[in-house]
Each structure stands twice: as C-alpha cells, then as structure tokens.
Amino acid sequence: MYAQMVTTDANRVRDISEMSEEERAFQERIDRGEKIEPTDWMPEGYRKTLIRQIGQHAHSEIVGQLPEGNWITRAPTLERKAILLAKVQDEAGHGLYLYCAAETLGVSRDELIELLHAGKMKYSSIFNYPTLTWADIGAVGWLVDGAAIMNQVPLQRTSFGPYSRAMVRICKEESFHQRQGFDIMMKMANGTPAQHRMAQDALNRFWYPSLMMFGPSDKDSVHSAQSMSWKIKINTNDELRQKFVDQTVPQAEYLGLTVPDEHLKWNEEKGGYDFSEPDWSEFFEVLKGNGPCNKERLDARIKAWEDGAWVRDGLMAHADKRAAARTAAE
Amino acid sequence: MKKEWPLWEVFIRGQHGLNHRHVGSLHAPDAEMAIRNARDVYTRRKEGVSIWVVPSAQITASDPGNKEALFEPATDKIYRHPSFYDIPDEVGKM
Ligand SMILES: [Fe+2]
Ligand SMILES: [Fe+2]
C-alpha cells in the first residue's frame, strides 16, 4: 500500500497472558476500540512500527506528487491543469498531515526526510513507474488513488488517534482524486481511436503495479498479525486486493477497456473475481531501488530539499532576528 | 543539520458562531508564516473563517496519569444533569 511491508520487530504475536501488566492494559484498550493518544503509555514496538508506517505513508504522498507533477504544465486544457494542480496540492497536504502524526511519536519531520533521502525509509513502489502520456494521469487517479482509498478508508479506525484523525481528513479529500482520474479515462476511452488506445495502454501499464500496491500476500506474516492486533492494520493485503479488483473490473468494462489479464474470471462461488497475481519479483526489484524511476524520484526529492535549504534557513534567521528585536524593545 | 522550523498547533473556527477547534499542527519559522501555511494546509475547501496558531511548545497538557484524579469525581455527580430530577408531567415543559 502507501505503506508496504512494514516490519514490527515481533517474531510472534504474544498471548495476553504473556504480557506485562502495562502491556495488557494497553492491548485491552485497543480491543475495546479506544484510541491511543501520544502521551499514553505504549509498547516500544507499537511506537516504532507506527513511525515506520506513518513515515512511509507520508513519504509516499510527497514522492507521489512527482509523476503527476510531470503533467501539470502539459495538461490539455486550463481546467484540467487547475484540477491537477489542486490534486497534487492535496497530496502535499496529505504528506504534511501524516508527518505531523508521526511527529507526535517523538521523531522530527526533518529526521524522517533525511532517512528517506539516505535510502533508509521507503515510499510506495507505485511511484517508481513513469507517467508517459496524459491517459496515465487518468489511470493514476482512477487506479492508484482508488487502491489508496481501499486501504485508507479502514485505517480511519486505526488505534492511534493522530493517525486516525489524519486518515479521516485524507479520506474526505481522496474521492475527488479518484473521480477526476476516472473522468479523464472516460474522455480518453470515448475519444478518438488514438485516445482510446492511449487509455488502454495506460491501463495495461498501471494494472499490475496497482495490484502490487497492496503488497504480497501476508496471511502468514507475523508482522501483519502483530499490526492487526494493534489495529494499525485492519485488513490483510489479499482482502484489500480482492476488493480492489472486484470494484475496478466493472469500471474498466464501463470504459470499454480490457483488463490485461487473460485469467480474469468472475467466480460465482466466492462472489469475486479470480485474477492473476502480479510479478512479485518485479515488485521486490522496485523496492530494492531498481524500478524504472527510483533514481529519478529520489534525486528529485533530494534536489528539492537541498535547493530549498537557503530558504528554510533564511526564514528561520529572519524570524530569530525579529524575535530578538522584540525582546530587546520590551 | 540546521535548525528545524518550530511546530505550531492550528485551531480553526469552522463557521461563524462556533469555537475554534484544534485541527492539527505544522512547521513554520514564525507566527505569520504559520498562519499562511495553515491556510494552505488546513483550509483548502473553505473549512474555516478564522485561524489561530500557537507554538506547540507553549501548550501545557494534563498528565494522562492524572486522568482519574481529574475526571473521575464528576462521574458520581449525576445531579448535575437535568434528567436527575423527576418533574411531574402536569407541570408542563421545564
Ligand atoms: Fe493522498
Ligand atoms: Fe490522492
């Protein structure tokens, strides 16, 4: 997802009887559906896992601006340009809400950013794919934001208060993202034969990377089990992927586009589609840094951070100087 | 690493007549920039008519360990609620 393969430091999920008194009280609060707030007692593992997860989620929002930002200056109409600009600005906001949620756990935003730039934290694999045509912007909104919504809606119920509140705010804004993407896809799919081909090509290239967003099957993963008992993960990766496919296939049919999977078939018995798994070796390569755009994305982030340093420092120096002048005048 | 911009807590009045409510936090070099940033980060869809920003370092919070001492005494004072009193129907609306 926006946070993929987050580890928990757990080698197994412990039974409530094996926990210390504090830990048991903590787990019981979560089981009762209470929210954990930053100043409440929490196990070190919970705190660390959340920093990883929320940090990775925040990085994804920020890096995710790059593939779409690529098309702001080349949007086909002024209206499309204004819409895309607003969408990308929302993603910046999402990143900021999430960094702030992570900061309540005792890490600073600058630290997280530096960990990302040092390659010690990740962002979602999906943003390492290029946006080659305008139809890709449609596909990103429809599929990538669509997949993100699948994951973010249940996370509104997550146990950590600041994360949950950030998710509520984000979810309110996301549905515009998906709908503007689908709107682009409708225009393209019903346009000229060349535009229709572009829409199909975008779906072909983004289908499997979108399925990868949910991460490999984690039904046997200790980390997922631990995260689920802490309610910082609500559904398994397979559950969310299935939901995404079931929701998206009829939408592709509506567009008159073909999902690039010859094994895709409705399964009456399970009440969902059977579909092909993405190529997981490709996923792991992308995570390792070998996707088509990993280097370009990280370089762009580092450059923006370094080029902005004098502005950040200058504004801080100015604020300090004015504060000092004020104190002297008092 | 250089000095990081301080953290500010942001409060927004959603509509005329309502209280300002805490909506989140952000980084900014000073109060003026904090207001500008808050406008972009927290009110892109007309979420507010007024913004307050307060340096996070200036917030004093109650100690979660004191929760019982602070809030427990209120639970048995149900006579503070109107529903505690039985007023006969014939008295009319009260
Ligand atoms: Fe987002
Ligand atoms: Fe989005």
Of A15, A2, A132, A147, residue with least CA distance to A64: A2
Mutation site for A-interface testing, chosen from B4, B9, B62 by largest number of A Cβ within 10 Å:
B4
- Domain-embedded: residue B2: no
Residue of A nearest to B62 (CA): A39
Q: Which residue has the tokens 């940033």?
A: B37
How many residues would you count in chain B? Answer: 94
- Taking all residues of chain B, what is their mean pLDDT, rounded to a whole number? 92
Please tell me the distance from the alpha carbon of residue B28 to that of residue B7, in angstroms, as a whole number: 7
Please name the member of A110, A316, A322 whose beta carbon is closest to the beta carbon of B1. Answer: A110
Confidence of residue B1 (pLDDT cuts 50, 70, 90): very low
- Complex prediction ipTM: 0.88
CA distance A63 to A126: 10
Domain that holds residue B40: 7-91
Answer whether residue B64 is part of any domain.
Answer: yes
Q: What CATH number does the domain containing B42 carry?
A: 3.10.20.520
Query: Does B35 contact A at CB distance below 8 Å?
Result: no
Q: Tokens standing for A157?
A: 């119920």
Interface of A with B in 100-159 (CB under 8 A): 100, 103, 108-110, 114
**Percent of chain A residues past pLDDT 70, beyond the cut:** 100
Which bound ligand lies closest to the C-alpha atom of A167? 1
Residue B1 lies in a domain: no
Task: Look up residue A210 and give its two tokens.
Answer: 């979108």
- What is the predicted pLDDT for the residue at A80? 97
Contacts with B24 from chain A: Cβ below 8 Å: 97, 100, 165-166, 169
pLDDT tens digits along A81-133? 999 999 999 999 999 999 999 999 999 999 999 999 999 999 999 999 999 99
Give the long-range contacts of residues A240-243, CB within 8 A, separation 24 or more: A240/A1, A240/A150, A240/A151, A240/A214, A241/A211, A241/A214, A242/A272, A242/A273, A243/A150
How many structural domains is chain B composed of? 1
A322 at B interface, C-beta within 8 A: yes
Question: What phi and psi, each to the nearest 5 degrees, are found at residue B55?
Answer: -60, 130
Nearest CA in chain A to B40: A93
DSSP E strand boundaries for chain A: 265-267, 272-274
| Radius of gyration of chain A, Cα coordinates, nearest whole angstrom | 21
Q: For A277, which DSSP code?
A: P
The three-class DSSP label of residue A273 is strand
State the smallest CA–CA distance between residue B25 and chain A in angstroms. Answer: 6
A243-297 confidence digits (pLDDT tens): 999 999 999 999 999 999 999 999 999 999 999 999 999 999 999 999 999 999 9
Q: Quickly state the pLDDT bin for B7 (edges 50, 70, 90).
A: very high
Mean pLDDT of A20-39: 94
Task: DSSP letter for B53, please.
Answer: E
- Chain centroid to Cα B10, Å, comes to 10
Mean pLDDT of all residues in A36-49: 95
Copy the structure tokens of residue A97. 């809400």
Q: What is the pLDDT of residues A46-66, one digit of tens each?
A: 999 999 999 999 999 999 999
Residues whose CB falls within 8 Å of the CB of residue A217, separated by 6 or more in sequence, listed in order? A236, A237, A238
The pLDDT tens digits for B76-86 are: 899 999 999 99
User: CB–CB of A248/A143 below 8 Å?
Assistant: yes
Give me the pLDDT at residue B2, please: 64
Q: Render pLDDT for A186-232 as a digit per residue (tens, 0 to 9).
A: 999 999 999 999 999 999 999 999 999 999 998 888 889 999 999 99
The reported pLDDT for the residue numbered A1 is: 59
Amino acid symbol at B55? P
Distance CA A250, CA A252 (A): 5
